[in-house]
Amino acid sequence: MRSVRRAAVAGSFYPSSATRLSSEVDQLIAGAKAQRSLGMLKAAIVPHAGFVYSGAVAASAYALLKARERVDRVVLLGPSHFVRLEGLGLPAVEAMRTPLGEVALDLEGVKRASQLAQVAESPQAHAHEHSLEVQLPFLQRVLSRFTVIPLVVGDADPDAVAEVLEVLWGGEETIILVSSDLSHYLPYELAVKADKRTAARVLELDPVLLPNEDACGATPINGLLVACAKAKLRPAVLDLRNSGDTAGPRSEVVGYGSFAFYQAQDG
């Protein structure tokens, strides 16, 4: 009997009923605005709040992923919200569970990642972490069969994160997802300006460090930007909104963005 990481936020961030969850995710993806492809989708940044807040923004990336062929391996990175962590942490399980079923880990990929000095097992960091978990139902609805390499990211420099991504980069069968929200608890107008600045830096694959106050997943984003610059991927903004646009007051909002990174079709 394999070890499984149980769902921690089913019933709060997203529905605990498999039927309701499937329906909600499908509706969010169906409602995503059409995007012009700039090549083969290789990586994306997606938000990780409750579905009522950021689900529609995340869906813009997953609608693109649904159109991809041959994806059966997902490298998934998100920030550690509850546990102080040095480097990147693996969950020490063989699968992760949501109401839609279990997602198996790519154990060979996990083994390769764990050979790097900046990667270690950290089940405590994964136990209550939502940033990775909320992506799984989307993946389960858009991919027929896939494995995942889930990494919670703590204190690490961009090159260390990029090295992990490069080891796990793979080919057309692999997609890389970084889970991050943007600005936190600013008034609406200030948040819009702050998130536009962040989006501009993402589009430039800006090597200057994105600070944590601009994105809770700044550390994995910074590593992704380094890796994408080396791989000469083309970035694009898919959606950029905040909780004041989706399901909340505008006095204090949380920013959400979906970004795609494309590999040229001939590359």
Residue ranges of domains in the chain: 4-172+199-244+254-263
The stretch 232-252 carries a mean pLDDT of 97
Of 151, 215, 222, the residue nearest 183 (C-alpha): 215
pLDDT of amino acid 267? 44
> What letter represents residue 176's amino acid?
I
Return the half-sphere exposure (C-beta side, CA atoms, 13 A cut-off) of residue 195. 28
pLDDT in tens, 94-130: 999 999 999 999 999 999 999 999 999 999 999 999 9
pLDDT in tens, 170-194: 999 999 999 999 999 999 999 999 9
Beta-ladder partners of 262 = 41, 234
pLDDT in tens, 10-54: 999 999 999 999 999 999 999 998 888 789 999 999 999 999 999
Percent of the chain with pLDDT over 70: 99
pLDDT of amino acid 69? 81
Work out the number of other CB atoms within 10 angstroms of the CB of residue 13: 20
pLDDT of amino acid 135? 98
CA 260 to chain centre: 11
Pick the CATH number of 4-172+199-244+254-263 from 3.30.70.100, 3.30.420.40, 3.40.50.920, 3.40.830.10: 3.40.830.10
Rg (CA), the chain: 17
